[in-house]
């Protein structure tokens, strides 16, 4: 059984105009409509980033009141409502963007995300595909689609979607990381090793990647390299739960096999450390219970 691994998901944010932030209290100036709208969108973005929902809503709503066809304000107000859990309102605003700008791929991605939250995965897939078709070079919609496939164990589709991202950007960190994990999940350990090795070349201090590489080494029978990889993960992040569990589990198997250099107390100490950090860790609890029964 492969060691415990982590995956990385897509990230989304509101759309900010490329203008300096103005933190002063702004009022809509009808004589400077475009400039004032951009400033309010920017100010709303800064409030949204600090989770000051009420102020952000006031900024975006003000722009929408005066410019009901402003796609940035509509998208950002929808994103704000999505963060607040007002999914129906968010979806309505995203659709409003598409009535103004039918080719707005950002709105399509946002609609897909809402559909995914609501459990309409096939609807979300259709929206991500529409966004990808409108933006042949776009990476974000393709990565979101790959993550959605991956999350629902549609591994063939996920692999193709990750590869689509990597054809456009061979150094896309999240796509490389997740593709490596996908290969681990599907037993393609040689491919996993190649992908994770490339990722580690780009990000040598990534503790998750070293932990996952340890899982690859374990599955291919190179236990010493697996242990070294997990130790490297812990050098980079001493609190890495999965690396501690993987190392403890491997040492436990060695201890059961009669390896004299492995001490049960050392294994218990490592698992106890994980439980002190993560009292609800089911992985640590199972191993602790098994250790106590021996």
Do 21 and 110 reside in the same domain of the chain?
yes
Q: How far is CA 47 from CA 11, 25, 26, 106, in A?
A: 19, 12, 13, 20
Which segments of 14-114 are extended strands (E)? Answer: none
Q: What is the pLDDT of residue 18?
A: 40
End of a domain among 98, 114, 134? 134
Q: What is the pLDDT of residue 247?
A: 92
Do 98 and 3 reside in the same domain of the chain?
yes
Do 104 and 163 reside in the same domain of the chain?
no
Contact between residue 101 and residue 108 where contact means Cβ atoms under 8 Å apart: no
Do 239 and 265 reside in the same domain of the chain?
yes
Contact between residue 49 and residue 37 where contact means Cβ atoms under 8 Å apart: no
Do 248 and 145 reside in the same domain of the chain?
no
Q: Is the pLDDT of residue 9 over 80?
A: no
The range of the structural domain enclosing residue 84 comes to 1-134
Q: What is the pLDDT of residues 175-207, one digit of tens each?
A: 999 999 999 999 999 999 999 999 999 999 999
Do 40 and 92 reside in the same domain of the chain?
yes
Alpha helices in the chain, H assignment, sequence order: 33-49, 53-66, 71-83, 87-100, 105-117, 121-134, 140-151, 155-168, 173-185, 189-202, 207-219, 223-236, 241-256, 264-277, 282-292
Do 164 and 253 reside in the same domain of the chain?
no
**How far is the C-alpha of 94 from the C-alpha of 199, rounded, in Å?**
35
At 165 the three-state DSSP class reads helix
Whose structure tokens read 């999965």? Answer: 242
Do 18 and 115 reside in the same domain of the chain?
yes
**How far is the C-alpha of 59 from the C-alpha of 50, rounded, in Å?**
14
Do 3 and 122 reside in the same domain of the chain?
yes
Give the model's confidence band at 23: pLDDT under 50 very low, under 70 low, under 90 confident, else very high.
Answer: very low
Tell me, what CATH number does 3's domain have? 1.25.40.10
Q: What is the pLDDT of residues 167-179, one digit of tens each?
A: 999 999 999 999 9
Do 129 and 6 reside in the same domain of the chain?
yes
Contact between residue 75 and residue 64 where contact means Cβ atoms under 8 Å apart: no
Do 122 and 250 reside in the same domain of the chain?
no
End of a domain among 203, 218, 238? 203
Of 23-32, 36-45, 116-125, 262-271, highest mean pLDDT: 116-125
The mean pLDDT of 63-74, rounded to a whole number, is: 90
Number of domains in the chain: 3
End of a domain among 203, 224, 255? 203
Do 160 and 242 reside in the same domain of the chain?
no
The mean pLDDT of 130-157, rounded to a whole number, is: 93
């Amino acid at each position: 059984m492969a060691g415990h691994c982590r995956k990385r998901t897509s990230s989304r944010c509101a759309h900010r105009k490329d203008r300096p932030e103005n933190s002063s209290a702004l009022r809509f100036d009808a004589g400077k409509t475009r400039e004032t709208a951009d400033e309010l969108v920017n100010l709303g973005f800064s409030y949204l980033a600090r989770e000051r929902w009420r102020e952000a809503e006031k900024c975006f709503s003000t722009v929408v009141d005066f410019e009901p066809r402003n796609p940035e304000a509509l998208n950002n107000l929808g994103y704000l409502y999505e963060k607040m859990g007002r999914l129906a309102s968010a979806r309505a605003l995203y659709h409003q963007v598409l009535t103004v700008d039918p080719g707005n791929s950002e709105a399509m991605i946002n609609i897909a995300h809402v559909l995914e939250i609501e459990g309409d995965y096939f609807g979300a897939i259709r929206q991500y595909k529409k966004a990808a078709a409108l933006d042949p070079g776009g990476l974000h919609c393709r990565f979101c689609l790959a993550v959605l496939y991956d999350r629902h164990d549609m591994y063939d589709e996920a692999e193709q979607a990750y590869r689509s991202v990597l054809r456009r950007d061979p150094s896309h960190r999240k796509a490389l990381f997740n593709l490596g994990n996908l290969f681990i999940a599907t037993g393609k350990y040689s491919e996993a090793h190649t992908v994770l090795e490339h990722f580690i070349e780009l990000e040598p201090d990534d503790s998750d990647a070293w932990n996952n590489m340890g899982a690859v080494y374990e599955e291919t029978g190179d236990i010493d390299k697996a242990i070294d990889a997990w130790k490297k993960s812990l050098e980079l992040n001493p609190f890495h739960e999965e690396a501690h569990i993987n190392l403890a589990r491997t040492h436990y198997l060695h201890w059961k096999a009669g390896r004299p250099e492995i001490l049960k107390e050392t294994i218990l100490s490592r698992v106890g450390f994980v439980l002190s950090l993560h009292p609800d860790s089911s992985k640590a609890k199972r191993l602790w219970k098994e250790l106590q029964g021996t």
